[in-house]
Amino acid sequence: MEKISSNLKGLAIALVGALIAKYLHIPLPWLLGPLLTALLFGSVGHPLACDPQWRRIGQIIIGMALG
């Protein structure tokens, strides 16, 4: 149950970051918004954790989008 709540918290924070980035008209809000939000949370002492499988899937998706 803890894994699910951790993943949901990360997804919610990423969604909020993307929405804020879209509101601020930052280029690539779906990529930079969650990245900057995760950086901010990690900098203030609340690092986000995710399941390694989700991380691999995300890296594959980003690699395919950039490639």
44 pLDDT band, cuts 50/70/90, is very high
Hey, is 62 helix, strand or coil?
Answer: helix
62 has a pLDDT exceeding 90: no
CA distance 54 to 51: 5
Q: Give the rounded percent of residues in the chain with a pLDDT score beyond 90.
A: 36
Report the predicted TM-score, pTM, of the whole model to 2 decimal places: 0.72
pLDDT (average), residues 53-60: 87
Number of domains comprising the chain: 1
Tell me the average pLDDT across 1-13: 80
- 58 within 8 A of 30, measured Cβ to Cβ: no
Domain that holds residue 58: 2-66
